[in-house]
Amino acid sequence: MDGGQKAPDDRPVRARRGDARAYESLVEEHQAIAFRTAYLITGSAADAEEAAQEAFVRAWLALRRFRRGAEFRPWLLTIVANEARNRVRGRRRREGLAERAAGELAWQAPVAELPLPGDARLREALAGLPERDRSVLGCRYVLDLGEAETAAVLGIAVGTVKSRTARALERLRAALGVAE
Protein backbone atom coordinates (compact mmCIF):
# COMPACT_ATOMS: atom_id res chain seq x y z
CA MET A 1 0.00 0.00 0.00
CA ASP A 2 1.33 3.40 -0.75
CA GLY A 3 -0.36 4.93 2.26
CA GLY A 4 -2.36 8.09 1.96
CA GLN A 5 -3.88 7.11 -1.40
CA LYS A 6 -7.54 6.45 -1.07
CA ALA A 7 -8.90 3.32 -2.67
CA PRO A 8 -11.53 4.05 -5.29
CA ASP A 9 -15.07 3.81 -4.03
CA ASP A 10 -16.53 0.74 -5.71
CA ARG A 11 -20.07 1.35 -4.50
CA PRO A 12 -21.24 3.14 -7.70
CA VAL A 13 -20.03 0.19 -9.77
CA ARG A 14 -21.66 -2.29 -7.42
CA ALA A 15 -24.87 -0.27 -7.46
CA ARG A 16 -24.82 -0.25 -11.25
CA ARG A 17 -24.62 -4.02 -11.16
CA GLY A 18 -27.74 -4.12 -9.05
CA ASP A 19 -26.35 -4.04 -5.50
CA ALA A 20 -29.14 -2.14 -3.76
CA ARG A 21 -27.27 -2.04 -0.48
CA ALA A 22 -24.32 -0.30 -2.12
CA TYR A 23 -26.56 2.45 -3.43
CA GLU A 24 -28.36 2.77 -0.13
CA SER A 25 -25.00 3.30 1.51
CA LEU A 26 -24.21 6.07 -0.98
CA VAL A 27 -27.55 7.71 -0.25
CA GLU A 28 -26.96 7.56 3.49
CA GLU A 29 -23.54 9.09 3.13
CA HIS A 30 -24.52 11.90 0.77
CA GLN A 31 -28.08 12.76 1.70
CA ALA A 32 -27.09 15.61 4.00
CA ILE A 33 -24.92 17.44 1.48
CA ALA A 34 -27.47 16.77 -1.26
CA PHE A 35 -30.24 18.27 0.86
CA ARG A 36 -28.13 21.28 1.87
CA THR A 37 -27.11 22.00 -1.71
CA ALA A 38 -30.72 21.82 -2.86
CA TYR A 39 -31.78 23.97 0.08
CA LEU A 40 -29.28 26.65 -0.76
CA ILE A 41 -30.61 26.76 -4.33
CA THR A 42 -34.32 26.47 -3.67
CA GLY A 43 -34.55 28.24 -0.34
CA SER A 44 -37.26 25.81 0.72
CA ALA A 45 -36.80 22.75 2.90
CA ALA A 46 -39.74 20.99 1.22
CA ASP A 47 -38.43 21.66 -2.28
CA ALA A 48 -34.92 20.70 -1.21
CA GLU A 49 -36.12 17.40 0.18
CA GLU A 50 -37.98 16.55 -3.01
CA ALA A 51 -35.11 17.71 -5.20
CA ALA A 52 -32.58 15.66 -3.27
CA GLN A 53 -34.75 12.55 -3.37
CA GLU A 54 -35.42 12.92 -7.08
CA ALA A 55 -31.74 13.57 -7.72
CA PHE A 56 -30.81 10.29 -6.03
CA VAL A 57 -33.31 8.46 -8.22
CA ARG A 58 -32.01 10.17 -11.35
CA ALA A 59 -28.46 9.39 -10.36
CA TRP A 60 -29.37 5.76 -9.87
CA LEU A 61 -30.98 5.65 -13.30
CA ALA A 62 -27.87 7.28 -14.79
CA LEU A 63 -25.30 5.05 -13.09
CA ARG A 64 -24.42 3.49 -16.41
CA ARG A 65 -23.00 6.87 -17.42
CA PHE A 66 -20.96 7.22 -14.26
CA ARG A 67 -17.29 7.03 -15.09
CA ARG A 68 -15.54 4.24 -13.21
CA GLY A 69 -13.05 5.64 -10.74
CA ALA A 70 -14.59 9.12 -10.73
CA GLU A 71 -15.72 10.81 -7.52
CA PHE A 72 -19.36 10.14 -6.82
CA ARG A 73 -20.09 13.28 -4.79
CA PRO A 74 -19.39 15.96 -7.45
CA TRP A 75 -21.29 13.90 -10.00
CA LEU A 76 -24.24 13.58 -7.64
CA LEU A 77 -24.18 17.27 -6.71
CA THR A 78 -24.38 18.23 -10.38
CA ILE A 79 -27.60 16.25 -10.60
CA VAL A 80 -28.87 17.70 -7.33
CA ALA A 81 -28.17 21.25 -8.49
CA ASN A 82 -29.92 20.65 -11.82
CA GLU A 83 -32.93 19.16 -10.09
CA ALA A 84 -33.07 22.05 -7.61
CA ARG A 85 -32.81 24.62 -10.41
CA ASN A 86 -35.60 22.90 -12.28
CA ARG A 87 -37.78 23.14 -9.21
CA VAL A 88 -37.01 26.82 -8.85
CA ARG A 89 -37.87 27.39 -12.51
CA GLY A 90 -41.05 25.40 -12.15
CA ARG A 91 -42.02 27.36 -9.10
CA ARG A 92 -41.35 30.62 -10.90
CA ARG A 93 -43.47 29.51 -13.80
CA ARG A 94 -46.25 28.53 -11.45
CA GLU A 95 -45.99 31.84 -9.72
CA GLY A 96 -46.15 33.60 -13.06
CA LEU A 97 -42.79 35.20 -12.66
CA ALA A 98 -40.56 35.80 -15.63
CA GLU A 99 -37.57 33.61 -16.09
CA ARG A 100 -34.31 35.31 -15.46
CA ALA A 101 -32.81 36.11 -18.79
CA ALA A 102 -29.26 35.27 -17.89
CA GLY A 103 -27.17 33.65 -15.25
CA GLU A 104 -25.85 30.15 -15.20
CA LEU A 105 -27.56 29.42 -11.93
CA ALA A 106 -30.97 30.31 -10.68
CA TRP A 107 -29.59 30.90 -7.21
CA GLN A 108 -32.93 31.39 -5.63
CA ALA A 109 -31.94 31.57 -2.03
CA PRO A 110 -29.33 34.17 -1.27
CA VAL A 111 -27.45 32.97 1.74
CA ALA A 112 -28.32 36.22 3.43
CA GLU A 113 -32.02 35.47 3.25
CA LEU A 114 -31.84 31.98 4.62
CA PRO A 115 -32.87 31.51 8.19
CA LEU A 116 -29.33 30.68 9.18
CA PRO A 117 -27.56 31.89 12.27
CA GLY A 118 -24.59 34.20 12.06
CA ASP A 119 -23.59 37.76 11.97
CA ALA A 120 -26.48 39.90 10.73
CA ARG A 121 -24.01 42.35 9.24
CA LEU A 122 -22.35 39.57 7.30
CA ARG A 123 -25.68 38.37 5.97
CA GLU A 124 -26.61 41.89 4.94
CA ALA A 125 -23.31 42.32 3.14
CA LEU A 126 -23.83 39.01 1.36
CA ALA A 127 -27.25 40.11 0.24
CA GLY A 128 -25.70 43.06 -1.52
CA LEU A 129 -23.36 40.91 -3.60
CA PRO A 130 -24.11 39.86 -7.17
CA GLU A 131 -25.79 36.47 -7.45
CA ARG A 132 -22.71 34.76 -8.90
CA ASP A 133 -20.66 35.89 -5.90
CA ARG A 134 -23.25 34.65 -3.44
CA SER A 135 -23.48 31.31 -5.20
CA VAL A 136 -19.76 30.64 -5.21
CA LEU A 137 -19.37 31.71 -1.58
CA GLY A 138 -22.38 29.62 -0.66
CA CYS A 139 -20.84 26.52 -2.19
CA ARG A 140 -17.29 27.04 -1.04
CA TYR A 141 -17.96 28.12 2.55
CA VAL A 142 -21.57 27.65 3.61
CA LEU A 143 -21.71 24.16 2.07
CA ASP A 144 -17.98 23.69 2.52
CA LEU A 145 -17.59 22.15 -0.92
CA GLY A 146 -14.24 21.71 -2.60
CA GLU A 147 -13.37 23.63 -5.72
CA ALA A 148 -14.15 20.72 -8.03
CA GLU A 149 -17.49 20.13 -6.35
CA THR A 150 -18.34 23.83 -6.52
CA ALA A 151 -17.48 23.77 -10.21
CA ALA A 152 -19.78 20.79 -10.68
CA VAL A 153 -22.67 22.41 -8.84
CA LEU A 154 -22.34 25.76 -10.59
CA GLY A 155 -21.51 24.28 -13.98
CA ILE A 156 -18.32 26.29 -14.35
CA ALA A 157 -14.62 25.52 -14.62
CA VAL A 158 -12.49 24.97 -11.55
CA GLY A 159 -10.33 27.94 -12.57
CA THR A 160 -13.43 30.10 -12.68
CA VAL A 161 -14.34 28.92 -9.19
CA LYS A 162 -10.97 30.09 -7.91
CA SER A 163 -11.07 33.50 -9.55
CA ARG A 164 -14.71 34.05 -8.74
CA THR A 165 -14.20 33.09 -5.11
CA ALA A 166 -11.30 35.49 -4.76
CA ARG A 167 -13.28 38.34 -6.29
CA ALA A 168 -16.35 37.56 -4.21
CA LEU A 169 -14.35 37.56 -1.00
CA GLU A 170 -12.77 40.83 -2.03
CA ARG A 171 -16.16 42.41 -2.63
CA LEU A 172 -17.50 41.02 0.63
CA ARG A 173 -14.58 42.44 2.57
CA ALA A 174 -15.09 45.78 0.88
CA ALA A 175 -18.76 45.72 1.77
CA LEU A 176 -17.91 44.97 5.38
CA GLY A 177 -15.09 47.48 5.44
CA VAL A 178 -12.56 44.94 6.63
CA ALA A 179 -9.03 44.37 5.46
CA GLU A 180 -7.76 40.98 4.27
**Stretch of 6-14, 46-54, 67-75, 95-103 contacting another protein, by CB under 8 A:** 46-54
CA dihedral 117, 118, 121, 124 (to 10 degrees): -50
Q: Which of the ranges 6-14, 55-63, 95-103, 149-157 carries the binding residues for another protein, by CB under 8 A?
A: 55-63
Least Å from the CB of residue 102 to another protein: 25
Backbone angles phi, psi at 99, to 5 degrees: -65, 145
The C-alpha torsion from 124 through 84 and 73 to 11, rounded to 10°, is: 150
| 114 near another protein (CB under 8 A) | yes
The site that binds another protein (CB under 8 A) totals a number of residues, namely 39
Give the closest residue to 41 by CA, choosing from 117, 103, 128: 103
Phi/psi at 4 (nearest 5 deg)? 80, -30
* Residue 127 binds to another protein (criterion: CB under 8 A): no
Site residues for another protein per CB under 8 A = 20, 23-24, 27-28, 31-32, 34-36, 39, 45, 49, 52-54, 56-57, 60-61, 111, 114-119, 122-123, 137, 141-144, 169, 172-173, 176, 178
